[in-house]
Amino acid sequence: MTEHWRLTASEIAARVRAREVSAEEVARDALARIEAANPAINAVVQFMPEEALASARAVDAAIARGEDPGPLAGVPVTTKVNVDQKGFATTNGLRIQKDLIAPDDNPVVANLRRAGAVFIGRTNTPAFSLHWFTRNSLHGHTRNPRNPALTPGGSSGGAAAAVAAGIGAIGQGTDIGGSVRYPAYACGVHGLRPTIGRVPAWNPGGVERAIGAQLMAVSGPIARSIADIRLALGAMAAPDARDPWWVPAPLEGPAFPKRAALCVRPEGMATTPEVEAALRDAGRRLQDAGWTVAETPVPPLREPGRMQAMLWLAESRRGMKEALRREDDPDANFVFAQMERLCPEADFNAFQDALQARAGFCRQWNLFLERYPVAIMPVSAEPPFPDLLDLESPEAFDRVIEALLPQVGLPLMSLPGLTVTTDLSGPAPLGVQLVGGRYREDILLEAGAIIEAAGPAITVADPAGG
């Protein structure tokens, strides 16, 4: 019996389109995989078997009529519980939102649906999608399927854990400070943070996003192959007039010089030997493919990271404190308190100053990425952390946020970043982050495919009981 859940999205779509297997067979296999693997990891927290089978039958019917079912024909996909999916609760990991039923699809969900994706479940996030681990008082604790002692990452920890465990070939995640890139790293898969405006997004059941989120928050794909990241991005990036930030930029840009910058210790980060080895290995893989790789510092990340946190926290202080009080989630309360400790409250002038200074950092990075179209940097200065490390003490929280500087600093410039897993042989997954110019995800995907091809393929994790 074929285990369709082990296949990539590209393989599934090709087989469904060729009628080698029906979308309904694939969906039933995916639902069985949830039953087998999810109890050990709690990645999927809202189930939708009826919708999945109905969508799969619609794909099969379209193919039978000779119609194009879409590039993701029959591909099992999960969505994150902080994006609207019509008829399901947008909980964002909160008890106070357990009955917040979405009136319509978020554009990214609508685009995946139109592309022929089959939604099989909704994935977990920390309360308020607030930190880099995944536990909340409503849905519980998500575990890393490769090693339950390690964090699955966050806030898209459920999405990454599901993909790593073969629960769906593609996971939709969101990223404002590493929430796609870090879970992909922790779970040993790939994850793309697109440029702002590349993938349309908006929650019809919620309020308008504040300006920091409008400048920095994105939806992006998590998958087990770079080809699947490319396929998913193409589907997610379709136009939707409901998002005024969406940009009709081509998915493939002009030719570019094959030059990459290798930066092992951005702004003096204490990068561990294991992470340094992964970075140098990725650089060698590109060099072996004919790229020029130069070890060089990158433009600032520390001050952009401070401004990112200040912009986000200024908005959260204004609009989230009452919700924090009502939800009273211990993890969220602790994380928010640590963020407030690290980030003094900004007045109106400081808020305006940060928005003004942002242009200068964008300019520095734009000029740097013209010379080096790819920057190879750490995802984190350390391998994936022990689970819930950041909740142990203020000192532990400081260690985590310092190690994740490349995650927090990058979004201020609205740049794309790609996590590429390079090594699953040790106790913790290892990988690198590739950073590119605005709307040049194609460059990151080309470099990522080279790095991927020169290493072992990503295998599906088999969590206990799966």
Q: Tell me: the pLDDT tens digits for 407-418?
A: 999 999 999 999
Inside any domain, residue 376: yes
**Domain-embedded: residue 466:** no
Does 63 map to a domain?
yes
Does residue 55 fall inside a structural domain? yes
Mean pLDDT of 419-433: 97
CA distances 60 to 70, 114, 391, Å, are: 11, 14, 47
pLDDT, tens only, 383-393:
999 999 999 99
Catalytic residue, candidates 10, 22, 155, 156: 155
On the question of pLDDT at 317 being above 70, the answer is yes
CATH number at residue 320: 3.90.1300.10
Residue 94 and residue 224 in contact, taking contact as beta carbons nearer than 8 Å: no
Surface-to-core class of residue 359, CB atoms within 10 Å of its CB (0-12 exposed, 13-18 middle, 19+ buried) = exposed
**pLDDT at residue 218 above 70?**
yes
Does some domain include residue 462? no
For 197-211, what is the mean pLDDT? Answer: 95
For residue 1, the model assigns a pLDDT of 56
Q: What is the pLDDT of residue 399?
A: 98
Q: Is the pLDDT of residue 2 over 80?
A: no
Residue 456 pLDDT greater than 70, yes or no: yes
Based on the residue annotation, tell me whether 80 is a catalytic residue of this protein.
yes
Segments in 208-301 forming alpha helices (H):
211-216, 226-236, 273-288
Q: Is the pLDDT of residue 345 over 90?
A: no
**Which one of 22, 55, 80, 225 is the catalytic residue?**
80
In tens, the pLDDT along 42-83 reads: 999 999 999 999 999 999 999 999 999 999 999 999 999 999
- Whether 465 is in a domain gets the answer no
Instruction: Give whole-number Cα distances, 140 to 33, 167, 186, in Å.
Output: 20, 18, 19
Mean of per-residue pLDDT scores for the chain: 96
User: Residue 346 — very low, low, confident or very high, per pLDDT cuts 50/70/90?
Assistant: confident
Asked whether residue 465 carries a pLDDT value surpassing 70, the answer given is no
Read out DSSP for 138-181?
Answer: TTEE---SS-TTB---SSTHHHHHHHHTTS-SEEEEEESSSTTH
Q: Is the pLDDT assigned to residue 315 strictly greater than 90? A: no
**Whether residue 225 lies in the annotated active site:** no
Q: Does residue 463 fall inside a structural domain?
A: no
CA distance 253 to 159: 29
User: Is 129 among the catalytic positions?
Assistant: no
Q: How confident is the model at residue 12 (pLDDT cuts 50, 70, 90)?
A: very high
For residue 254, pLDDT beyond 90: yes
- Both structure tokens of 16: 């469904």
Bridge partners, 220 (sequence order): 173
Q: Are 114 and 53 in contact (CB under 8 A)?
A: no
List, for residues 127-142, the tens digit of each pLDDT value: 999 989 999 999 999 9
The contacts found for 288-292 with CB under 8 angstroms, 24 or more apart, are 288/454, 289/450, 289/454, 290/258, 291/258, 291/259, 291/260, 291/447, 291/450, 292/257, 292/258, 292/259, 292/260
| Arithmetic mean of pLDDT, 7-36 | 98
Name the active-site residue from 22, 129, 156, 179: 179
pLDDT tens string 223-252:
999 999 999 999 999 999 999 999 999 999
Q: How many domains does the structure of the chain reveal? A: 1
Three-state SS sequence of 201-214? CCCCCCCCCCHHHH
Residue 319 reports pLDDT greater than 90: no
Q: What range does the domain containing 437 cover?
A: 10-453
Would you state the pLDDT for residue 344?
A: 82
CB 362 within 8 A of CB 414: yes
User: Is 404 a domain residue?
Assistant: yes
